[in-house]
Amino acid sequence: MGFDSDLETQIDLWRGYVLRRQAIATIDAEELEDHLRDQVDDLLATGLDHDEAFLVAIKRLGNLDAVSREFAEEHSDRLWKQLVIVRDDGDDTRTPAWRELAMVLGLALGTGLAVKAGLSWLEGSGGLIRNVGLLVFPFLAAYFGWKRRLTAPVAAALLVSFAALAVLLNVYPFAVDGSTALLAGLHAPVVLWILVGVAYIGGRWRSDARRMDFVRFTGELAIYYTLLALGGAVLVGLTVAVLTAVGVDPEPVLAGWILPIAVPGALVVAAWLVEAKQNVVENIAPVLTRVFTPLTIMMLLAVLAVVATAGGLNAVDRDLLILMDAILVLVQCLLLYSLSARDSLARPGLFDSLQLVLVVVAIAVDAVMLTAMLARITEFGFSPNKIAALGINLLVLVHLVRAAWLTVGFLRGRRPFSALERWQTRFLPAYGVWALVVIMIFPLVFRFA
């Protein structure tokens, strides 16, 4: 049945009003509009006039704020752009933009100076690599702590954790150039990043959806940081060229001050940009993952072929194993990031099959590596490096195998996509626990060698 033009105008206005809610997507607005029109039809049939029917139908649909909050609860990924779950108390509690900018620049400068100070104090002692994360990540956590208005217990827990880690990394009598020292340095950022995550999600670390938000944030941060680094490199390159041309040597200032401050500082700025401008990158994320998933599959297959034909597994040397570990971690990140960029209600499609291929190939690579590692361990005995690598590989294997299983279930329509998402986010703390074991227990077991 056609409505009169007045009613159509009213429905148009209503639609515009609904669409302004970030939590209600266009497609949901269409569903609600279909509902509204059915309701109006039925009310007209009972003898109401157009205005009355429209008003009653709107009323039955409910308070739009409440409905939109309900949508927000269900589709928190949409609100991620906007960051705050629709606040009850309106917008008057938001901090002015200039204050946030000042905070960000202050923290960026803070971390830059901290790194600069660390460079001068710890130079050559081998302690820098263990501590560099501690000089950067707490500033990032501080920004989110301030932004999310962390409760006192959460903030205190974070502070204590950072302090405990700092004590641990510096009180242990690590042997200079020992492998446990290096391992602790390599694993510290994992633990630190998880602490940043706790600050990012405002202490609600039990929520799977919030954890996924943090995964999404991590991916976007990597993109923004790369963009900033590229821009910065061009700028520095041009300046250096000009200064050298006029006979001034920029090297002391550049290496002594600008890089040590700008490189860590840019991380805080990148985090702020991700916070402020999510809409821009959100359109890039799915594209990037779609481009890189097939490419990564090809890379893994090539690696697999080369390793398999390069002679016996015993010939696989240590550096190669470490490189392959790095590749697997990268694959894991790509997988997580593409999951976080995916619409969880979309039907299984070609890309999901492609992702399954990626997971299966990664499992194959991991299996080859585990075999090579076990071969090395039986031949040369245990060492901290080998156990650390073995641990990471086993974790990745468990993570991937279960993910493959759940993806198959999803592709065959037996399981919802959320089961896969849940597994991915729930497994993440396991990496943190393992990193903590490497930092805390390994030095004791291996006598700080």
Partner 1 sequence: MRIEKDLVAATATPLVLGILIDGDLYGYAILKRVGELSGGSMQWTDGMLYPLLHRLERLGYVTSRWSSSEAGRRRKHYTITDLGREQLAERQEQWTVVVEALRQVWQADPRPPAAAAAWA
Which element (helix H / strand E) includes 309? Answer: helix 284-309
> Which residue number, 87 or 414, has a Cβ lying nearer to partner 1?
414
Question: If binding is defined by CB under 8 A, does position 411 make contact with partner 1?
Answer: no
Pick between residue 2 and residue 153 the one whose CB is nearest to partner 1: 2
How far, in Å, CA of 158 to CA of 162, rounded? 6
**CA distance linking residue 6 with residue 262, whole number of Å:** 59
The answer to whether 5 contacts partner 1 (rule: CB under 8 A) is no
Per CB under 8 A, does 21 bind partner 1?
no
Nearer to partner 1 among residue 37 and residue 116 (C-beta): 37
Query: Contact with partner 1 (CB under 8 A): which of 54, 144, 417, 431?
Result: 417
- Is 86 a binding residue for partner 1 by CB under 8 A? The answer is no
DSSP string, 411-422: HTTSS-HHHHHH
What part of residues 337-366 is at the interface with partner 1 (CB under 8 A)? 344-345
- Binding to partner 1 by residue 34, rule CB under 8 A? yes
Q: Which residues inside 54-83 make contact with partner 1, applying CB under 8 A? A: 60-64, 66-67, 70-71, 73-75
Angle between helices 259-276 and 128-147 (to 10 degrees): 30
332, 403 in Cβ contact below 8 A?
no
26 binds partner 1 (CB under 8 A): no
Cβ distance 143 to 105 under 8 Å? Answer: no
Least distance to partner 1, CB of residue 38, Å: 4
Least Cβ distance, residue 53 to partner 1 (angstroms): 14
Assess 1 for contact with partner 1 (CB under 8 A).
yes
- At 70, list the tokens: 């309900």
| Closest of 120, 140, 425 to residue 270, by C-alpha | 140
How many residues of this chain bind partner 1 (CB under 8 A)? 31
Stretch that binds partner 1, among 85-93, 240-248, 407-415, 426-434 (CB under 8 A): 407-415
Rounded CA gap, 363 and 405, in Å? 12
| Residue 39 within binding range of partner 1, rule CB under 8 A | yes
Q: Are 391 and 434 in contact (CB under 8 A)?
A: yes
Q: Nearest distance from residue 413's CB to partner 1, in Å?
A: 8
Q: Does 131 bind partner 1 (CB under 8 A)?
A: no
| H or E stretch covering 267 | helix 259-276
Q: Give residue for tokens 């393992």.
A: 434
Q: Which two tokens stand for residue 287?
A: 């594209």
CB atoms within 10 A of CB 294: 13
What's the min distance (Å) between Cβ of 410 and partner 1?
9
Binding site for partner 1 (CB under 8 A): 1, 28, 30-32, 34-35, 37-39, 60-64, 66-67, 70-71, 73-75, 344-345, 413-419
